[in-house]
Amino acid sequence: MWLSRWFFHAVHHHGVAHTVVFVTVASVVGAVLAGAFSDRIDDRIESERFDASGPFAFLTAGFLAGGLSHVFADILSAPDLSRAIEPLWPVYSQPLGIDLVWYNAAWINVGFLSVMVVAHVAVAYLTTLMGHRYQLLPK
């Protein structure tokens, strides 16, 4: 993290970016920015079913799910190689860590990756309209 070069006592990887507050704010901001391009997205995927609220809700939920799952995974393994995280800051400022998995354990990383790839493919398959040019298994 480049800020830690100048503020090495205050800024670290598991700092404010690994909090529920930050993930929520970043999710909303990311969804607003992506929603600004919803017309281009509609043109790209040849759909007119999205209005301004559809991408916002979908992207906010997606960013939240990804960000919160990352924070949760760091809770399970944070004390190994770096500081424990404070995910509930500013409400609860004590570090929280459950030393359950090790960051560099290949089986846990391959397991997380495998589960997420299967989940993404399943969601894409179940939510893609039949006959759409981006359909995973065209018939």
Contact call for residues 85 and 14 (beta carbons, < 8 A) = yes
pLDDT at 44: 67
Contact call for residues 35 and 55 (beta carbons, < 8 A) = yes
Give the pTM: 0.69
Q: pLDDT (tens digit, 9 = 90+) per residue, 81-103?
A: 667 788 888 888 888 888 777 77
pLDDT at 4: 52
The Cβ of residue 31 has, within 10 Å, a number of other Cβ atoms equal to 20
Q: pLDDT (tens digit, 9 = 90+) per residue, 5-58?
A: 555 555 666 778 889 999 999 999 988 887 777 667 666 666 665 566 667 777
Integer CA distances (angstroms), 16 to 33, 59, 104, 107, in order: 21, 22, 23, 28
Domain ranges of the chain: 11-99, 105-139
Q: How confident is the model at residue 135 (pLDDT cuts 50, 70, 90)?
A: low
Mean pLDDT throughout 100-109?
81
Contact call for residues 71 and 24 (beta carbons, < 8 A) = no
